[in-house]
Amino acid sequence: MSLSKMSKNVDLLIIKAANSQEIYGSLSSLTAIEPPVWGGMVANFIRKKGYSVEMIDMEIENLSVDGIVDKIIKTNPLLVDIVVMGPNPSASSTPLMPITRQLLNSLKKRRSNIKTILTGIHPSALPEKTLREEKTDFVGRGESFYTILHLLETLKSGQEIPKCQIKGLWYIKKGKVISNGWGELIQRPDELPMVAWDLIDVEKYRAHNWHCFGHLNERSPYAVIYTSLGCPYNCSYCNIRTLYNGKPGIRFRSPESIIEEIDFLVQEYHVKNIKFLDELFAINEERVNEICDLIIGRGYNLNIWAYARIDTVNKEMLEKMKKAGINWISYGIESGSEKIRKGVHKGIFKQDTVRKVIKITHDAGIYVLGNFIFGLPEDDLYSMQETLNMAKELNCEYVNFYTTMAYPGSQLYEEMINQGVELPSNWLCYAQLAEVTIPLATKYVSSREVLRFRDKAFREYYSRTEYLEMIRKKFGQEEMFHIKEMLKHKLKRIYI
């Protein structure tokens, strides 16, 4: 939102932290620019309670830190909520901490009276450490909808912060950290209004390059919505549960509220490209069918992508999803070794099951985004090669190759801390594509070897004749040349 349209003296100003160039390097032009969906939900929740709210997206504003602070000061908010959460919530919260620190330092130097709260996965995972290290007044642990609401009520009234009455609120008083546990969970997601889409410029957001294969010049506008909150699984390398009070679990929005938001996005903003941000959309077949039937009934020509698990889909579900415009499914295959997957609590599905599910997905006309991780705790060079071989065999339309990180809030992080493993002190080292990326070493392979293997695997996968020819046949010459151009981007790596 432009400064001229922003209100002065607002109650709550929400900032989406962003530092795309540092996190993605030269590949930043190919990634999505996602709307600040979590901040947008908080904005509308607070606004519905009678408070004035504005939003600033650092990624869209494309200003220096001082430029963002200028906007904050001119808005003169009672409270600033810096949302530390990126497009992949579990992996892109911690790398946002360096830019968040810069923003806080600049703001507090110029206007120390403006109150700030940090919310999102990283602050929730490490609330005390965050308070000690950053110049923030508060940390909100967990979902923080009610935490922010009750904090605003207190600040507006001019009263002192009640020591133990605002759940999820952490702060320092006289050198002591005051902890109030986890925030109050939203029991029924339908209590949340839709994202405050009017506070952002939907036209400025764009989908991933691969999401728009077949229409690469139509990446905007782009919208992201939750149809559920949480995840019932507990993979050891994932920290998503930290956003949901540290526990596995899932809460569903009603199909009626989901279609209402889709209707709004299509009719008001002509949105075609949509991401279902749920950690796991395809989990309950009856619910998936109900949502898909509502979309099908509208006759929209949508281009949606969503997450699923190898062990939660079937042929009929996939066919229904395709009819609704779900053209891409992201599967967390993670490893080409059953033993390695079992070691990180990633299901018990067999290799043949992976092959079968990819086939029935393709048979349904849906493209596959395959996610693979190199450097899981039991990985060695042989098992990592198994993973790469499986990726090549499956020949998914797109893949993400990750390295294992002990993200704060994950079980893996706690295990490494307990074992005395030295982890990166620079939070940007947790970014997968950054110049300073430092993955976790395995029992058998060094950190450098894991990163080197990942980058070699990326180039090897995408430069294969079998892959490029598949892309040409499915999407056309332009997409094949696009992949070749993508390979010209050289990631800078200090650690290698």
Q: Which tens digits make up the pLDDT trace of 125-143?
A: 999 999 999 999 999 999 9
pLDDT at 308 exceeding the cut of 70: yes
Confidence tier at 2 by pLDDT (50, 70, 90): very low
- pTM of the complete model: 0.94
Residues 173 and 98 in one domain: yes
SS3 at position 449: helix
Residue 370 CB coordination number (10 Å): 23
Residues 129 and 256 in one domain: no
Q: Residue 165 domain-assigned?
A: yes
CA distance 480 to 459: 14
Per-residue pLDDT at 338: 82
Min mean pLDDT across 236-240, 377-381, 393-397 is at 236-240
Q: Show the 3-state SS of 274-292.
A: EEECCCCCECCHHHHHHHH
Per-residue pLDDT at 326: 98
pLDDT at 234 exceeding the cut of 80: yes
Confidence tier at 164 by pLDDT (50, 70, 90): low
The two beta strands, 169-173 and 176-178, are: antiparallel
CA distance 86 to 76: 25
Mean pLDDT, range 288-304, rounded to an integer: 97
Q: Residue 417 domain-assigned?
A: no
Mean pLDDT, range 266-289, rounded to an integer: 95
Q: What is the DSSP string of 446-482?
A: -HHHHHHHHHHHHHHHHT-HHHHHHHHHHH-HHHHHH
Q: Residue 464 domain-assigned?
A: yes
User: Is residue 50 left, alpha or beta, with left meaning phi > 0 and alpha meaning psi from -120 to 50?
Assistant: left
Q: Where residue 298 sits, what CATH number does that domain have?
A: 3.80.30.20
Of 164, 189, 192, residue with least CA distance to 49: 192
Q: 208: which 2 tokens?
A: 């991933």
Q: Residue 432 domain-assigned?
A: no
Last-in-domain residue among 162, 178, 194: 178
Min mean pLDDT across 70-74, 232-236, 252-256 is at 232-236
Mean pLDDT, range 48-75, rounded to an integer: 95
pLDDT at 422 exceeding the cut of 80: yes
pLDDT in tens, 322-348: 999 999 999 999 888 888 887 666 666
CA distance 310 to 153: 45
CA distance 360 to 7: 52
Q: 218: which 2 tokens?
A: 């139509």
Q: Where residue 11 sits, what CATH number does that domain have?
A: 3.40.50.280
Residues 167 and 213 in one domain: no
SS3 at position 435: coil
Residues 318 and 379 in one domain: yes
Task: Please give the angle made by the CA atoms of 130, 147 and 413, to the nearest 5 degrees.
Answer: 35
pLDDT at 430 exceeding the cut of 90: yes
Residues 226 and 89 in one domain: no
| Dihedral of the alpha carbons of 492, 378, 344, 224, in degrees to the nearest 10 | 10
Last-in-domain residue among 163, 178, 193: 178
Per-residue pLDDT at 26: 76
Residues 116 and 164 in one domain: yes
CA distance 10 to 217: 38
Domain limits at 456? 206-404+439-486
Q: What is the mean pLDDT of the chain?
A: 93
The two beta strands, 273-276 and 222-225, are: parallel
SS3 at position 405: coil
Residues 238 and 370 in one domain: yes
Residues 248 and 211 in one domain: yes
CA distance 245 to 415: 19
pLDDT at 4 exceeding the cut of 60: no
Backbone angles phi, psi at 62, to 5 degrees: 55, 40
Which residues is 33 bridged to in the sheet?
A: 206
Residues 253 and 353 in one domain: yes
Residues 247 and 112 in one domain: no
Per-residue pLDDT at 86: 81
CA 489 to chain centre: 23
| Dihedral of the alpha carbons of 277, 280, 281, 283, in degrees to the nearest 10 | -170
Last-in-domain residue among 127, 162, 178: 178
Q: Residue 493 domain-assigned?
A: no
Q: Residue 356 domain-assigned?
A: yes
Residues 75 and 172 in one domain: yes
Cis omega (within 30 of 0) on the bond before 221?
yes
Confidence tier at 3 by pLDDT (50, 70, 90): very low
Q: Residue 244 domain-assigned?
A: yes
CA distance 82 to 117: 6
Backbone angles phi, psi at 319, to 5 degrees: -65, -40
Per-residue pLDDT at 67: 95
Query: By percentage, how much of the chain surpasses pLDDT 70?
Result: 96
CA distance 121 to 244: 9
Residues 26 and 140 in one domain: yes
Which residues is 371 bridged to in the sheet?
A: 332, 400
Q: 336: which 2 tokens?
A: 């080409």
When divided into structural domains, the chain yields a total of 2
pLDDT at 162 exceeding the cut of 60: yes
Q: Residue 183 domain-assigned?
A: no
Contact 127, 170 (CB under 8 A): yes
Whole-angstrom Cα Rg for the chain:
22
